[in-house]
A and B are shown apart, each in its own frame.
Chain A
Amino acid sequence: MNISVLEIKGLTKHFKRFTLGPLDLQIEKGTAMGLVGANGSGKSTLLRLLMNILQPDGGTIEFLGQRTKENETEFKERVGYAGELLEPFGHVTIKELSSMVSYWYPKWDNHRYEHFLKRYNIDEGAKYGKCSKGTKKKVEFIFSICHDPQLLLLDEPSVGVDISSQRIIKEDLMSFMENGEKSIIMATHAIDEIKSICDIITVLHEGRIIYSVNKDEIYENWARIWVSEVREQIARHPNVLSITGSPLQLVTNNLRAVEEELRKEQISITHIQRLAVEEVLEHYIETNSA
């Protein structure tokens, strides 16, 4: 039924001042996962470990049931990665870069490549290093998708990209996902990208996954409830996360349970509002920093 494309178990990487993991994570066919978290929480490190640009100290990564470590070539032919890998090649033109990159991909589709160049208005003769930040992002994105990968790993794909190109990237990601066979893992800070593209939200904090959920569950379970009064019973309820005054309101991560409890206690509810994704994410990051 739901086949996992990528399965990570116990993935760990130690640095002098930072440890990532151990991480367990699974991504299903046909879904897009948004990796969110503060700067330095380990998002890019995770993507780099997946690509074996950084070597893990422990744990396993499986792609369609096969260890990526033992099948690296096969894995890399079927995955697309955009994450500032081209920086050392600033002195060459985009055209030269494309022949370097395409060389490694048997499935590279040159028609597709030409189509994207036009679509994103890229001057192939320009030196990569001379391109603006947004143009570099677009070029990386194009390079990551022209061999029709099974899985896309994107590290903040829209940073510095102009508004209309952001829309085009979104469209292209959507058509990439359309047949339900492909998956995306995307590190991002753009709430709009999370809302429109991602199905699963995974929150990293100080190198650990503190939350990984279908984004609709956020909407279904989290709410702010305005109430007439708060009693001991309510204040201590495990699903009541915060209570603030004037007017009296509480935040919950399990609307159903708390509503039930309020009804039992005969406390009247004046208003219920669903929390926005960004509020919930902030809440998570805050409680874990405290």
Chain B
Amino acid sequence: MKLPIRVSEESREPIYHQIETQVKSLILSGQLSPGTALPSIRALSLDLACSVITTRRAYQNLENDGFIKTVQGKGTFVREIGIIRKEETKHKAVYDAL
């Protein structure tokens, strides 16, 4: 699957951070529902023309923040985020965006 993510040449943010924020907002907005399989680290790197080191870092951070989980040998999936947590993060995402 292909994610509607773009890394911007103009942005001051590091690439891994751009990926992280965009995946988060896709999950929070419900465009990526729980259980959805994410592209492999290699496939996403190819898609964005960035290095696996960068995508791996983004996925690791997303996993630490509880947005996704990696199942050994199966792939990476969107996690079920508690409703309260979702609201919280939504507020924070809006706050960050502003």
Closest 9 CB pairs of A and B: A199-B51, A216-B54, A214-B53, A199-B52, A216-B51, A177-B42, A216-B50, A215-B51, A178-B42
Residue among A30, A180, A196, A216 having the largest count of chain B Cβ atoms under 10 Å: A216
Least CB distance, B41 to chain A, in whole angstroms: 6
Chain B interface size, as a band, is 10 to 19
Least CB distance, B96 to chain A, in whole angstroms: 20
* Cα A32 to Cα B49 with chains together (Å): 13
B54 A174 Cβ-Cβ under 8 A: no
* Cα A178 to Cα B41 with chains together (Å): 8
* Cα A219 to Cα B50 with chains together (Å): 10
Least CB distance, A193 to chain B, in whole angstroms: 12
Least CB distance, A191 to chain B, in whole angstroms: 12
Least CB distance, B4 to chain A, in whole angstroms: 20
Q: Which of B15, B43, B46, B56 contacts A220 (CB 8 A)?
A: B15
* Cα A179 to Cα B56 with chains together (Å): 13
Least CB distance, A198 to chain B, in whole angstroms: 8
Q: Would you give 20 A-B contacts (Cβ < 8 Å), ordered by A?
A: A30-B41, A30-B56, A31-B52, A174-B42, A177-B52, A178-B42, A180-B40, A180-B52, A195-B49, A196-B46, A196-B49, A199-B52, A200-B53, A214-B53, A214-B54, A216-B16, A216-B51, A219-B15, A219-B50, A220-B15
- Residue in A closest to B60 when the chains form the complex, CB atoms: A1
B45 contacts partner chain A, Cβ-Cβ < 8 Å? yes
Interface residue tally for chain A (C-beta within 8 Å): 19
Least CB distance, A20 to chain B, in whole angstroms: 26
Least CB distance, A189 to chain B, in whole angstroms: 19
Instruction: Return the CB mask of A159-187 against B: 1 if under 8 Å, else 0.
Output: 00000000000000010011110000000
Mark B residues whose CB is within 8 Å of A: 9, 14-16, 40-43, 45-46, 49-54, 56
A31 B49 Cβ-Cβ under 8 A: no
A78 contacts partner chain B, Cβ-Cβ < 8 Å? no
Given A178-B43, A180-B41, 10 other A-B residues pairs in contact with their CB atoms under 8 A:
A30-B52, A30-B56, A174-B42, A180-B40, A180-B42, A199-B51, A214-B54, A215-B50, A216-B16, A220-B14
A214 B51 Cβ-Cβ under 8 A: yes
A200 B51 Cβ-Cβ under 8 A: yes
Q: Helix, strand, loop or mixed for chain B's interface?
A: helix
Q: Give the chain A neighbours of B9 by CB distance below 8 A.
A: 274
Least CB distance, B14 to chain A, in whole angstroms: 6
* Cα A164 to Cα B14 with chains together (Å): 34
Q: Give the chain A neighbours of B52 by CB distance below 8 A.
A: 30-32, 177, 180, 199
Q: Which of A177, A200, A216 contacts B15 (CB 8 A)?
A: A216
Least CB distance, B67 to chain A, in whole angstroms: 19
A199 B45 Cβ-Cβ under 8 A: yes
- Residue in B closest to A215 when the chains form the complex, CB atoms: B51
* Cα A196 to Cα B43 with chains together (Å): 11
* Cα A135 to Cα B46 with chains together (Å): 26
* Cα A31 to Cα B56 with chains together (Å): 11
Q: Give the chain A neighbours of B53 by CB distance below 8 A.
A: 31, 199-200, 214, 216
Instruction: Return the CB mask of A19-63 against B: 1 if under 8 Å, else 0.
Output: 000000000001110000000000000000000000000000000
* Cα A220 to Cα B40 with chains together (Å): 23
Q: Give the chain B neighbours of A196 by CB distance below 8 A.
A: 46, 49
Q: Give the chain B neighbours of A30 by CB distance below 8 A.
A: 41-42, 52, 56
Q: Give the chain A neighbours of B56 by CB distance below 8 A.
A: 30
Least CB distance, B32 to chain A, in whole angstroms: 21
